[in-house]
Structure 1
Amino acid sequence: MSSATIYDKDLLALQEMRTAVRKAKEAQAIYQTFTQEQVDEIVKHVAEKAYQSSERLAKMAVKETKMGVVEHKIIKNQVGSKDVYESIKDLKTVGVVREDRANKLLEIADPFGVVLAIIPTTNPTSTAYFKTLIALKTRNAIVVSPHPYAVQCTKAALEVCKEAAEEAGAPADLLQILTYSSMEATSQAMKHPNIQLILATGGGGLVKAAYSSGKPAYGVGPGNVPVYVEKSAKLDVSIKHIIDSKSFDNGTICATEQAIIVDKTIKDKFIAKLERQGGYILNNDEKKKMECLISPQPGRVNPAIVGKSASFIAKEAGITLPENTRVIIGLEDKVGKNFPFSLEKLAPIFALYVAEDLVDAKRICTQLLNLGGRGHSLSIHTENDQIARTFAVEMPVSRILVNTMSSIGAVGGTTGLKPSMTLGCGSYGGNITSDNISAEHLINIKRIAYGNKSVDLPKQVTTYQDLFDDDEIRETLNAHISNELDQALIQSVVEKVIKKMS
């Protein structure tokens, strides 16, 4: 491909982006006038059509990205459509949304305008569903920027939503997608004057770019999630949760467990049960081979393993696995960029650490989070609720998942958390919020405040001139104008002020 062809593609991408933003802005101006009833009907119809297309789009996503498992992506699509809808359907997003009669306060919802939604390759259709629904619910327009490796499936997901929205009465052009794979166009879109909010789900560089754009942005950090198996845990159930979670869609959810920390007193029993449920413990030679595959360059995970099955990964590493293997496990005792098993691996690969006691478990978890998962999530399996609460208080994370699958639990699938495909990491991870992002994050709240108390101002007031005589004021002003204020003069003025006020 010639440089001229590449240059022309970038120009086309920039023009497509500018046109998309313009059309979205014009459509949003119309959509902003819709009633709550009109909005709710549109959102309901889009959610229904998206849910019905879950299987078709799951197959498209796996085929195009070569990541994940079709059956699991169907579940993701269902969460991103039906579960998200159920969580937002009763939310008021038009007009007066709250009234505090006692304090004479009214809250009025107002949309941001045009939202730029950046979609990851790991969840290309479910995230498109999710971001579209929360944008529509809040009377925003949306411009979707898909991952270069998932353009077609993300486009198909948006087309389902667009067609359904317009069938229910939404303005044409309210939903837009950028079909050219251009980082330059995405970068320029972030800074476009008619983009009012950025929803960035993706790699660290992308999230930093969103936060550096000068626009309001919700970005999310990495999720190097530790899972602590405390000695009181019900091992059979806990191990099932952990393996099911890690193998779900081949580990592509950022809230998936990355390293197991098990108490020393139950280590042998835990490993035996782990192997019976499909975990394979690598020997030393196999571990070295796997380390080279996981991280050919220190601190960087090989993208070729992301979303791949345990059997595929083992074959690439030159390792033979038993047929029932679901996850690959390497025994580890160190944490750092030079220790590949301690990194965030969006694949069915675990590090396994043995903790001497509770204090040691906290130390290992903290080190793993500091390596690359601060603010995201931590999973714990225990029958001692006080220990779970202690971890919640002490760990620098936004979500503590107790006795459940971390991957699905964090996004609201098996817990009471808000269903979401974008999980904030709070200030721990450099994010503006620690919430599961949803519709309430996409509206401005205006407040009408009526006077309900009075303030009596003093009848006599003291001004600057009252504290000095004319000569002192003139001396100070002249010194200030000529930039000749020195330490002695400042001290003198301070003493005079104190004297006059005492």
Structure 2
Amino acid sequence: MTQVMTKEVTVLIEEAKAAQQKYESFNQEQVDKIVDAVAAEMTAITKELAQMAFEETGFGKVEDKITKNLFASEAIYSSIKDERTVGIIHHDEAEGIYEIAVPMGVVAALIPMTNPTSTVIFKALLSLKTRNAIVFSPHPAAVKSIVETARRIEEVAVKAGAPAGLIQVIEQPSLEETERMMQHEDTAIILATGGSQMVKAAYSSGNPAIGVGAGNGPAFIEKTANIAQAVEHILASKLFDYGVICTSEESIIAEAAVKDEVVKTLLEKGAYFLNDEQVEKLSKIAIRENGTLNPAIVGKPVSVIAKLAGIDVPESATILIVAQTIISEDNPYSREMLAPILPLYIANNWEDGVEKVSQLLNIEGIGHTAILHSTDKAKVEAFGLSINASRILVNTGGTLGGIGATTMLNPSLTLGCGTAGGSSTTDNISAKHLLNIRRVAMHYDR
């Protein structure tokens, strides 16, 4: 059997650059035709790609991966399809300013194993819409599904008139090849979605980068909240794809005045409270000795996690609740777990609840996402002013709220964390972040 040779990243970037130089001469109509065709094809094969991602990684649920793929090919597409990204995109006659959209060039895109196919669709659509080329660096645990998604996108884009080579993928990824891609002189910008070390490497590459930090979203249920609604949103959010989206809730803080109602509602909805012995057993398998998250629990159902930890839970259990009182870097339950596990803290009052949210984010997830359940408008405003997170979500689930599916935030699968989280922006990333804007300014007498 003849071995198929894969291209080195330098060749991929050369081919991507050559294709992009042709593509940047395309007009808006030509660009939109290509983007439309890719979005339609990704919608048509979303189930196939979701099944492939599930079989390869073992994370989450096929039906939720279908939803994520459709979010990329429909919701994100809808948010950018009418946006002007070619030529003069804005003209202010009064101030004498013209704004001209200019593509950046070759986008280097890191793709995580948690959301492989949906992230490829998302980043490819943004790149195509802005007349950029893109080179994907897959997580090694999701190579097959990422390569296939990229291949299908390239195929339909070329059929719609795009130059061949706009969509490239490293088929045998390694740390060395990824670093070479990020540091290459023809890489215009890096879109880094993945582990914190890789995001740091992106920012230290010498090229412009948009990286996103870890999530660890606390959900604070304060005393005026609609408890039934709050618990329903939190559990549905945490169960979506078994918690692998970075805006998923990672803990609950309940104000003492509503503690009993929160606990009662959690039990009624299928949550299972671990006893002290079970909490200890679970902590030993959740975080590895080197301090990193154990991938064996990521995106897995309660039954699998319980078996790994050697604990017995009812078959009806959907979420594992871990009562906690200590927030610290030494406590694994103060960390992001990306699994249906929710630590529960009790806050003495509003001030204590806000403090606990801040403490959790300071350990991990600073600048990312926090959630508040409240009917008190003043408390909502105070929370927004106090909490160092780029997304403050109110009375909605973190998972879909953070990516803009159940809120009016910009639909996105790459979420900035601001400088606090080591990111260059607090935005939900969209097409505008992959454009250089050239401004023509007339003389103006002030």
Q: Taking structure 1 as the reference length, what is the TM-score of the superposition? A: 0.87
Matched, 1:351 2:343: yes
Q: Do the aligned partners of 1:299 and 1:343 also contact (CA within 8 Å) in 2? A: no
Identify the residue that residue 185 of structure 2 maps to in structure 1.
Answer: 193
Matches within 5 A, 1:451-466: 451-453=443-445
Who is 1:69 aligned against?
61
Out of 150, 154, 158, which is 1:158 matched to? Answer: 150
Secondary structure of residue in 1 paired with 2:296? helix
In the aligned structure 2, how far is the partner of 1:383 from the partner of 1:452?
Answer: 48
- Secondary structure, counterpart of 2:355 in structure 1: helix
Q: Which residue of 2 aligns with 1:142?
A: 134
1:237 alignment partner in structure 2 = 229
- The answer to whether residue 423 in structure 2 is matched with residue 439 in structure 1 is no
Partner of 1:222: 214
CA distance in 2: counterparts of 1:302 and 1:338, whole angstroms: 16
CA offsets per residue over residues 30-84 of structure 1, 9 Å max, x none? 0000000100111011001011111111110010001110000000000111111
Task: Indicate whether 1:414 and 2:437 are aligned.
Answer: no
Check if 1:397 corresponds to 2:397: no
Which structure ranks higher in relative contact order (CA pairs < 8 Å, sequence separation ≥ 6)? 2
Per-residue deviation at 1:300?
2.6
Is 2:47 the counterpart of 1:23? no
Q: Which residue of 1 aligns with 2:274?
A: 282
- Read off the aligned partner of 2:241 and give its amino acid letter: D
1:293 is aligned to: 285
Q: How does 1:27-426 map to 2 (within 5 A)?
A: 27-297=19-289, 299-426=291-418
Helix, strand or coil at the partner of 1:125: helix
Whole-angstrom CA distance in 2 between matches of 1:337 and 1:295? 12
CA deviation after TM superposition for structure 1 residue 276, in Å: 1.0
Q: Which has the larger radius of gyration?
A: 1
Distance in 1 between residues matched to 2:260 and 2:288, nearest whole Å: 32
Residues of 2 paired with 1:388 and 1:326: CA distance?
A: 30
8 Å CA contact retained: 1:229, 1:382: yes
- Where do residues 487-498 of structure 1 align in structure 2 (5 Å cutoff)? none
Return the offset for 1:453. 2.1
Give how far 1:202 is off.
Answer: 0.2
Instruction: Tell me, yes or no, if the aligned pair for 1:298 and 1:338 is still in contact at 8 Å.
Output: no
Q: Distance in 1 between matches of 2:132 and 2:38?
A: 15
Partners of 1:209 and 1:167 in 2: how far apart?
Answer: 36
1:298, CA displacement in angstroms?
A: 6.7
Distance, in Å, in 2 between the alignment partners of 1:20 and 1:181 is 12
Partner-residue secondary structure (3-state), 1:197: strand
Tell me the TM-score normalized by structure 2.
0.98
Q: Which has the higher helix share?
A: 1
Paired with 1:170 and 1:244, the residues of 2 have a C-alpha distance of 40
5+ residue gaps, structure 1, are 1-7, 455-502
Identity %: 46
For residues 124 and 402 of structure 1, the distance between their equivalents in structure 2, rounded to whole angstroms, comes to 28
CA distance in 1, matches of 2:317, 2:230: 17
Q: Deviations over 1:439-478 (max 9, x none)?
A: 0000000010111228xxxxxxxxxxxxxxxxxxxxxxxx
Question: How far has the Cα of 1:323 moved from its partner?
Answer: 1.8
Other structure's SS at 1:221 match: coil
C-alpha distance in 2 between matches for 1:380 and 1:52: 36
Query: Using the alignment, how far apart are the partners of 1:158 and 1:298 within structure 2?
Result: 34
**CA offset at residue 336 of structure 1?**
1.6
Q: Which runs of 5+ in 2 are unaligned?
A: none
Q: Report the Cα distance in structure 2 between the residues aligned to 1:296 and 1:78, rounded to whole angstroms.
A: 34
Amino acid corresponding to residue 107 of structure 2 in structure 1: V
> Compared with structure 1, are the counterparts of its residues 17 and 298 closer, same or farther at alpha carbon in structure 2 (3 Å cutoff)?
closer
Amino acid at match of 2:216: N
CA distance in 1, matches of 2:183, 2:444: 42
